[in-house]
A and B are shown apart, each in its own frame.
Chain A
Amino acid sequence: MDLNDKIEKILEKVQKAPRYTGGEMNTEVKGWDECPLHFGFCFPDTYEVGMSHLGMKILYGLINRESWSLCERFFMPWTDMIALMEEEQLPLLSMESRHPLNAFDVIGFTLQYEMSFSNILAMLKMGGVPLESSERGETDPIVVAGGPCAFNPEPLADFIDAFMIGDGEDVMTELNRVILERKEKGLSREACLKKLAQLEGVYVPSLYDVTYNEDGTVASVTPNCAEAPATVRKRVVVDLNNTYYPEEFPVPYTEVIFDRIMLEIMRGCTRGCRFCQAGILYRPVRERSMEKLIDLAEKLLNSTGYEEISLSSLSSGDYSCLPELIRELMKRMKEKRVSISLPSLRIDSVLKESLEETQQVRKTSLTFAPEAGTQRMRDVINKGVTEEDLLGKVRDAFEGGWSSVKLYFMSGLPTETTEDLDGIADLARKVIAEYFNVPKTQRAKGLRVTVSVSVFVPKPFTPFQWAAQDTLDAIIAKQEHLRQVLNIKGVTFHWHEPYVSFLEACFARGDRRMGRVLRSAFEKGCILDGWNETFRYDLWMEAFRDCGLDPAFYAHRARTKEEVLPWDHIDSGVTKQFLWHEKEKSERAETTKDCRKGCNGCGLQRWKGVCSYANAGSV
Chain B
Amino acid sequence: MRMLAVFEKGERIRHIGHLDIQRSVQRGLRRSGLPVAYSNGFNPHILITFASALSTGACGTREIMDVTMAEEVSEEEFLDRMNRAMPKDMQLSEARAVDQKHPALMASLRAAEYDLLIRDPETAEKLTAAIPSMMAKETVTAMRKTKTALKECDIKPLIYELKGEGQHILATLVLTEREACKPGMLIEALGKEAGIDEEIRMLVTRTGLLGMDSEGRLIPLERL
Q: Judge if B16 is at the interface, Cβ distance under 8 Å.
A: yes
Q: What string of 1s and 0s marks CB contacts (under 8 Å) between A1-32 and chain B?
A: 00001001101100001100111110000000
Is B24 a contact of A253 with CB atoms below 8 Å?
yes
Q: CA A25 – CA B43 in complex, angstroms?
A: 24
Q: Judge if A222 is at the interface, Cβ distance under 8 Å.
A: no
User: Which of chain B's residues have a CB closer than 8 A to the CB of A18?
Assistant: 13, 15-17, 20
Residue of B nearest to A25 (CB): B87
Q: Could you list 21 examples of A-B contacts with CB < 8 Å?
A: A5-B119, A11-B15, A21-B13, A21-B15, A23-B12, A23-B87, A23-B89, A25-B24, A25-B87, A253-B13, A253-B23, A253-B24, A254-B16, A254-B20, A302-B33, A303-B31, A305-B28, A305-B29, A305-B85, A307-B30, A337-B44
Which residues of A are interface residues toward B (Cβ below 8 A)?
5, 8-9, 11-12, 17-18, 21-25, 251, 253-255, 301-307, 336-337, 362
Residue of B nearest to A24 (CB): B87
Which among B21, B24, B57, B85 has the highest number of chain A CB atoms within 10 Å? B24
Which among A18, A303, A304 has the highest number of chain B CB atoms within 10 Å? A18
User: Which of chain B's residues have a CB closer than 8 A to the CB of A302?
Assistant: 31, 33
Q: Judge if B26 is at the interface, Cβ distance under 8 Å.
A: yes
Is A304 a contact of B43 with CB atoms below 8 Å?
no
Q: Judge if B38 is at the interface, Cβ distance under 8 Å.
A: yes
Instruction: Give the distance to chain B from A495, nearest Cβ to Cβ, in Å.
Output: 33
Instruction: Give the distance to chain B from A162, nearest Cβ to Cβ, in Å.
Output: 34
Q: Judge if B27 is at the interface, Cβ distance under 8 Å.
A: yes
Is B15 a contact of A23 with CB atoms below 8 Å?
no
Q: CA A362 – CA B21 in complex, angstroms?
A: 25
User: Which of chain B's residues have a CB closer than 8 A to the CB of A21?
Assistant: 12-13, 15-16
User: Which of chain B's residues have a CB closer than 8 A to the CB of A306?
Assistant: 27, 30
Residue of B nearest to A16 (CB): B15
Q: Judge if B145 is at the interface, Cβ distance under 8 Å.
A: no
Which residues of B are interface residues toward A (Cβ below 8 A)?
10, 12-13, 15-17, 20-21, 23-24, 26-31, 33, 38, 43-44, 57, 85-89, 119, 201, 203
User: Which of chain A's residues have a CB closer than 8 A to the CB of B85?
Assistant: 305
Say which residue of A11, A253, A305 sits within 8 Å of B20 (CB atoms): A253
Residue of A nearest to B33 (CB): A302
User: Which of chain B's residues have a CB closer than 8 A to the CB of A251?
Assistant: 24, 27
User: Which of chain A's residues have a CB closer than 8 A to the CB of B21?
Assistant: 253
User: Which of chain B's residues have a CB closer than 8 A to the CB of A303?
Assistant: 31
Instruction: Give the distance to chain B from A337, nearest Cβ to Cβ, in Å.
Output: 5
> Knowing that A25-B86, A307-B30 are A-B contacts, what are 7 other residue pairs whose CB atoms are under 8 Å apart, sorted by A's residue number?
A11-B15, A18-B13, A18-B16, A23-B87, A254-B17, A305-B31, A337-B44
Is B30 a contact of A336 with CB atoms below 8 Å?
yes
Instruction: Give the distance to chain A from B59, nearest Cβ to Cβ, in Å.
Output: 12
Q: CA A179 – CA B77 in complex, angstroms?
A: 45
Say which residue of B12, B33, B201 sits within 8 Å of A12 (CB atoms): B201
Is B201 a contact of A304 with CB atoms below 8 Å?
no
Is B31 a contact of A304 with CB atoms below 8 Å?
yes
Contact (A253, B16) CB under 8 Å given A12-B201, A25-B87, A305-B26:
yes
User: Which of chain A's residues have a CB closer than 8 A to the CB of B89?
Assistant: 23
Instruction: Give the distance to chain A from B216, nearest Cβ to Cβ, in Å.
Output: 38
Q: CA A362 – CA B43 in complex, angstroms?
A: 8
Residue of A nearest to B32 (CB): A305
Is B12 a contact of A305 with CB atoms below 8 Å?
no
Q: CA A403 – CA B109 in complex, angstroms?
A: 46
User: Which of chain B's residues have a CB closer than 8 A to the CB of A11?
Assistant: 15
User: Which of chain B's residues have a CB closer than 8 A to the CB of A255?
Assistant: 20
Q: CA A281 – CA B16 in complex, angstroms?
A: 39
Q: CA A49 – CA B30 in complex, angstroms?
A: 25
Instruction: Give the distance to chain A from B90, nearest Cβ to Cβ, in Å.
Output: 9
Q: CA A337 – CA B12 in complex, angstroms?
A: 31
Instruction: Give the distance to chain A from B21, nearest Cβ to Cβ, in Å.
Output: 8
User: Which of chain B's residues have a CB closer than 8 A to the CB of A336?
Assistant: 30
Q: CA A481 – CA B41 in complex, angstroms?
A: 46
Which 3 A-B pairs have CB atoms at the shortest separation, nearest pair first?
A305-B27, A17-B15, A305-B30
User: Which of chain B's residues have a CB closer than 8 A to the CB of A23?
Assistant: 10, 12-13, 87-89
Residue of A nearest to B11 (CB): A8
Residue of A nearest to B15 (CB): A17
Contact (A12, B16) CB under 8 Å given A25-B87, A303-B31, A305-B30:
no
